[in-house]
Homo-oligomer: A and B are copies of this chain.
Amino acid sequence: MSAEAWVRSAEERLAEAGHKRGGARRAVLELLGIQECALTALEIEDALRDAASRRVSRASVYRILDELERLGLVQRVETGQAMVRYERTGGHEQHHHHLVCDECGVVMPFSDPALELAIAGLSERLALTVSEHEIVIHGSCRDCAG
């Protein structure tokens, strides 16, 4: 799904849920739509200010992300770093997970069919209705490991 299509479908979903349009949320959606990987609230705020697309207050960024998450439009990524990250769901070419270098803090996306299969099988046996899965692997990246 392209960034534009994702933004459009997200706005539809928001309208269905009784939301009105707003410039701040639109700006956040457009930013998330074109991201390859997860951003923190602060990164979103900074990116919007720098891109001059529109300044959005931090409180709004948090409120918007919270609502988007409730509607399943974005997903939290817990990297174990100080801040939570968010990225759009269902939008990228394929579902991906994250690698985190605990030394330099870089976060990289990765995909693995075998892992997806294992999780799919697992989901059927759990005492839980699985809503999403997000796997974070920690370690040292090539630069840091030397």
Identify the A interface with B (CB < 8 A): 76, 78-80, 84, 99, 101-102, 108, 110, 112, 114-115, 117-119, 121-123, 126-142, 145
Contacts and interface: CB of A to CB of B under 8 A. Distances in A.
Contact of A128 (B76, B131, B139): B139
A129 B139 contact: yes
Count of identical protomers in the assembly? 2
Contacts of A123: 137
A38 to B, nearest CB: 13
Contacts of A115: 115, 118-119, 122
Nearest to A112: B122
Contacts of A134: 136, 138
Contact of A117 (B84, B118, B131, B136): B118
Contact of A108 (B122, B127, B133, B142): B127
A136 B78 contact: yes
Nearest to A100: B128
Nearest to A79: B78
